[in-house]
């Protein structure tokens, strides 16, 4: 059986958020007296929920992590969100997948309003039936809870025809909780080893390969 519904991660899958996210982490960490001068040392923070990055990466308490998120968003909501780049060929791939009959949605750990803002900025929002994202109050921030929300919005109850597409293990592990397959993209911020260990059903190196793989596995 093939796929009919495609759920996309945002950061590292549809757009490259490196500059904005890493600089916002720098900004937030300075509030704790932590200096991280090289943004390339912060790319590991692209993908997980923010609260996990602060707590697991720096040993913050939940309260400290929430304070860090607040500082992060100070910069992200004004400057960081626009320090973003669309991956080559993504718009054309989304257009062709939708024309081929797939139903497209996002399932991102980024706050939903911000995800909508970014996708509209790049003129990508038009391709998605649902833009699923996290809630600002952190009640819905784990990938699995975002996937559940997105499936509910799509009114999809069986997951055999649903494919998650993302660049980090969090996408694959979140999908696995619902018995869904996940396709890994190698142009983002997770390695092939990370994605394979998390159980992805395939790996693609660019937007063109993404389109070809999905077409070969359509319902």
Active-site residue, selected from the candidate residues 9, 167, 171, 181: 9
Q: Is 123 among the catalytic positions?
A: no
Place of tokens 């996408």: 171
Contact 175, 181 (CB under 8 A): yes
Nearest in space to 117 (alpha carbons), one of 144, 89, 78, 91: 78
Nearest in space to 135 (alpha carbons), one of 168, 108, 112, 151: 112
The DSSP letter of residue 142 is S
Pairing assessment for the beta strands 162-166 and 5-8 based on DSSP bridges: parallel
SS3 170: helix
> What residues are annotated to the active site?
9
């Amino acid at each position: 059986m093939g796929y009919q519904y495609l759920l996309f991660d945002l950061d590292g899958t549809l757009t490259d958020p490196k500059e904005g996210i890493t600089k916002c982490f720098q900004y937030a960490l300075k509030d704790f007296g932590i200096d991280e001068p090289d943004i390339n040392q912060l790319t590991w923070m692209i993908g997980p929920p923010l609260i996990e990055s602060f707590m697991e990466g720096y040993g913050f308490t939940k309260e400290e992590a929430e304070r860090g998120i607040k500082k992060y968003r100070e910069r992200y909501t004004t400057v960081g969100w626009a320090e973003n780049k669309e991956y080559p060929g993504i718009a054309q791939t989304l257009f062709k997948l939708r024309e081929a009959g797939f139903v497209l949605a996002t399932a991102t750990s980024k706050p939903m309003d911000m995800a909508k803002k970014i996708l509209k900025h790049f003129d990508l929002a038009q391709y998605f039936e649902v833009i699923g994202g996290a809630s600002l109050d952190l009640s819905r921030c784990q990938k699995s809870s975002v996937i559940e929300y997105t499936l509910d919005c799509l009114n999809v109850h069986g997951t055999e025809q649903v494919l998650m597409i993302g660049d980090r293990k969090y996408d694959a592990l979140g999908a696995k909780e619902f018995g869904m397959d996940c396709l890994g993209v190698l142009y983002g911020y997770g390695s092939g080893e990370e994605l394979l260990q998390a159980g992805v059903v395939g790996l693609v190196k660019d937007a063109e390969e993404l389109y070809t793989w999905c077409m070969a596995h359509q319902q």
